[in-house]
Chain A
Amino acid sequence: MMTKPIAILKDSLREAWDSKTLLVMLVLAGLFLIGVASIGYTQATPQSVFENYLKDLSEPVLRLDRGKRILPMTRGPDGGPPRALANYTLTTFRAIKEAGHYPNGEYEFTLIVKPFDPTNPDGKKDETKKDDPKKDDPKKEAGPEADGFETAVALWHEDGSGRFLKIEGRNELDPSKVKVRVGAVTDEMVRDYFATELERHTQVPITEFERLMTENPKERMYRVKTGPSSEPRVWPVKLSLLFGLFQSEIPLPLGVILYLIQDIVISSVGGMIIILIAVIVTAFFIPNMLRPGSVVMLLSKPISRTTLLLFKYFGGLFFVLILSTFVVGGVWLITGIRAGVWAPGVFAVVPLMTLSFAILYAVSTLAAVLTRNSIVAILVTVAFGGLLWLVGKVESIAAVFRYQADALAELKKEEPEYPTWTKIAGGLNRALPRWHDIDVLTGHAVMDSLMTLKQQEARGEAALEKHQPSWGGTIGVTAVWIVAFLALACWWFSVKDY
């Protein structure tokens, strides 16, 4: 029963193969895969990993809700430009138990915390006051007003209950207006803060945590011991490119690197290239079929026009399916062999990229049936794709605004207020084919596969989860548009004389 439709699919594939485009694309993809295979992953040394972890903590961002929600700072703690609430540095380091696979080792290090000082915002002056006994006592409660570090830890623990924070002002989170209750930040909270963040960054547990005496009353010092971990995706690695020709000195978690390769390079840039080329190549399929001498040959065969058109359409999708499977499968195989991470979730890119193309190809099909002109089909498709891209871009900016407004409103127990333009962008995005949402979902599918949940939390992605588009809505609305375009194309094709 399916032999006729399969024959049409094969015919489309033969057309694509004959044009050499598919071959050229496969060769280019092969070269790209060789490039991916040339990437080497060297585990970063434990000391550099812990240093990097503390460096990340020193970024000028606000971590809320146990670090699940990360907000960019709009102002610094003194109302000036954004600055970190505290700086963290590693002083001593030693391996308690060595291991060939670094995450399996046990380590000890001390870290120094320098809270933000409004009288010395750049930290250049020595503010040591040895004659202040009150500051030397680590067990003593914080002073009448919490310092930057205490504020950071309190913010980190704030889950919207208002236990630690009192926020003034609207629509922005200004650290200078955040008031932390005196004495609220305990050592246990500090340990929780460091341990959870360290686990996010390295999947390494803290086994011992102790506050040490320090000579500088404005500093804090902690001794930390860590236990083993076997999670390969989290431990940072250093990259080498082109079989060691170029070396990167910045260690990044393996999962994050693989995510960047898979999502940014393949899904976003590579996917866009594949889709653009596919739009151009496949735009010739249907007009070629509809040329006066060709269409009558097919219409005289015992097959319905709808079947003919639909399977010609599926033939175009097949083109993208083959390319994306080749690229994604190749990267999956290579990274599995080279990095030891076998993440089947990355294959979600294949159907989602095909779905992205399916919208555009449905538009191309309709334009081709109406005009029988490939160039018009390409122009109309690119214009429609451009519109979806633009709506998606505006929506992605609007999503950040909404996310921040939600976060703030939650903390302040108020209803969120969104700017009007974000509502329009959201409405358009919901009503039109969800090209942008497919991209977001693709990114998340890849991320879920390559990064641990804690890693995602560290990047602030977990908190965005509830703001993510739904699978049902995204696929449903998109499918309705595709069906509508194809139904119109089939109707026109069925009633037209050739």
Chain B
Amino acid sequence: MAVIETRDLRKRYGRVEALRGVTLKVEPGEVFGLLGQNGAGKTTLIKILLGIVKFGEGEATLFHHPAGTADVRKRVGYLPEDHRFPEYHSAYSLLDYYGTLYGMPKDDRRTKIPELLDQVGLASRMHDKIRTYSKGMKQRTGVAQAIFHDPELIFLDEPTDGVDPVGRQEIREIIEERRRKGATVFVNSHLLGEIEMMCDRVAIMQRGELIREGTVQELTAQRGVFILGVEERDAFPEAELRQMGYNLRAVRDRWEITLADGQSIDPVLQLIRDKGLRLTHMVEKRQTLEDIFVSLVEAAEPGVEARRKKRLAARDRDRDDRGRGRDPYDDRYRDDDRRGRREDYR
């Protein structure tokens, strides 16, 4: 039984078509990520599901009930993007207020508020006014209020926005904990790495339409491209492999082999063993979610990829100038590199 289900959902803002027939299903216990450029319709979709925005055509249900009703909202937690809390509240009083609106008993609120604020790292400041909080602290408050009433479904719109790396890690842990407790989590984020780390399933939205949907594994797998490294780099049997019909290229001290249709990596490994070489590195190359995202967006909106490449080239030139060249295939730099690209994208 799907927790979220939409069918051919449409929404117009005047002449702008914000949603163009979105059909989506999110199953219980999933952490579902929705990706998309600014203005793609991600936030509109969440707001429709919560009844904050009225939809034009189609169907939208939460827990098999019409989306947006007060009864349904009681089972949902929400952290909006660019939220603004009443600054006359402290984190404690805010949670107390929102907890009352969710119908939580007073004793429950008193017990849970300090525990939860401790969990999000705000225990020492919980009675201070929100106006004195940093952006990261406000974001932690936002996460806390979204999960305070133990909702079955949690919508998080850019949950790690403005949060430092440690805070991001903590938020990821909180999401994981909620998932373990059986909650369904729906995450909107620009931080593709975060989505990749947190989500079971991902959908990509472009101009009000879902253009791709699947598990992270499904989306990022790139069949037939392997990176190999041997201890004796110069002895790598490049010529024999080319003769065997393999397409390969040197990438610093490793080799990238792209299999043609019907080819297998096994003969390559066999040849390396026969030659008595020691294999030090072998991975099947995967695409990052960002690669997928950008290529899909490029397909839907030509020009995006060109602009991205231009930015990456400019960045690489800048790095070279500063003598900071790195091996892009070195796993140690993988996360860092991806983050850099994400920042470029943003």
Contact = CB atoms under 8 A, between A and B. Distances in A.
B101 A498 contact: no
A293 B101 contact: no
Interface in B35-81: 47, 50-54, 70-71, 73-74, 76, 78, 80
B86 interface: yes
A497 to B, nearest CB: 4
Interface string A211-226: 0000000000000000
B52 A302 contact: no
A292 B54 CA distance: 16
Given A291-B84, A292-B84, A293-B82, A303 B52 contact: no
Contacts of A297: 78, 80, 83-85, 98, 145
Interface of B: 13, 47, 50-54, 70-71, 73-74, 76, 78, 80, 82-86, 88-89, 93, 97-98, 100-103, 129, 145
Counting chain A residues whose Cβ lies within 8 A of the other chain, the interface size class is 20 to 34
B271 to A, nearest CB: 61
B149 to A, nearest CB: 9
Interface string A280-308: 00000000100111101111111110000
10 contacts: A7-B100, A10-B97, A14-B88, A17-B88, A18-B129, A300-B50, A301-B98, A497-B13, A497-B47, A498-B53
Closest 10 CB pairs of A and B: A293-B84, A18-B88, A302-B74, A7-B100, A300-B78, A497-B53, A301-B101, A302-B73, A302-B70, A296-B80
The A interface, classified by DSSP as helix, strand, loop or mixed, is: helix
A120 interface: no
B131 to A, nearest CB: 9
A302 B51 contact: no
Contacts of B86: 11, 15, 288, 294
Contact of A7 (B47, B88, B101): B101
Contacts of B89: 14
Contacts of A495: 54
B102 A301 contact: yes
Contact of A11 (B53, B80, B97, B145): B97
Contact of A302 (B13, B71, B85, B129): B71
A312 to B, nearest CB: 12
A273 to B, nearest CB: 24
A303 B70 contact: yes
A304 B83 CA distance: 20
A302 B102 contact: yes
Contact of B101 (A288, A303, A497): A303
A299 B54 CA distance: 12
A497 B44 CA distance: 10
Interface of A: 3-4, 7-8, 10-11, 14-15, 17-19, 288, 291-294, 296-304, 495, 497-498
A327 B126 CA distance: 35
Contacts of B76: 300
**Residue of A14, A18, A19, A296 with highest tally of chain B CB at under 10 A:** A296
Contacts of B74: 302
B88 A15 contact: yes
Residue of B82, B97, B101 ringed by the most chain A CB atoms within 10 A: B101
A294 B83 CA distance: 6
Nearest to A18: B88
- Most interface-central of B52, B70, B74 (chain A CB within 10 A): B52
- Point out which of A298, A300, A302, A304 has the most chain B C-beta atoms below 10 A from its C-beta: A300
Contacts of A301: 73, 98, 101-102
A497 B84 contact: no
Contacts of A17: 88
B98 to A, nearest CB: 7
Nearest to A308: B101
Contacts of B85: 294, 297
Contacts of B52: 296, 299-300, 497-498
A318 to B, nearest CB: 15
A86 B275 CA distance: 140
Contact of B70 (A7, A14, A298, A304): A304
Contacts of A298: 101
A108 B51 CA distance: 83
Contacts of A300: 50, 52, 73, 76, 78, 80
A19 B88 CA distance: 8
Contacts of A293: 80, 82-84
A184 B13 CA distance: 87
Given A4-B103, A14-B93, A293-B82, 19 more contacts: A17-B88, A293-B80, A293-B84, A294-B83, A294-B85, A296-B78, A296-B83, A297-B83, A297-B145, A300-B50, A300-B52, A300-B76, A300-B78, A301-B102, A302-B102, A497-B47, A497-B52, A497-B54, A498-B52
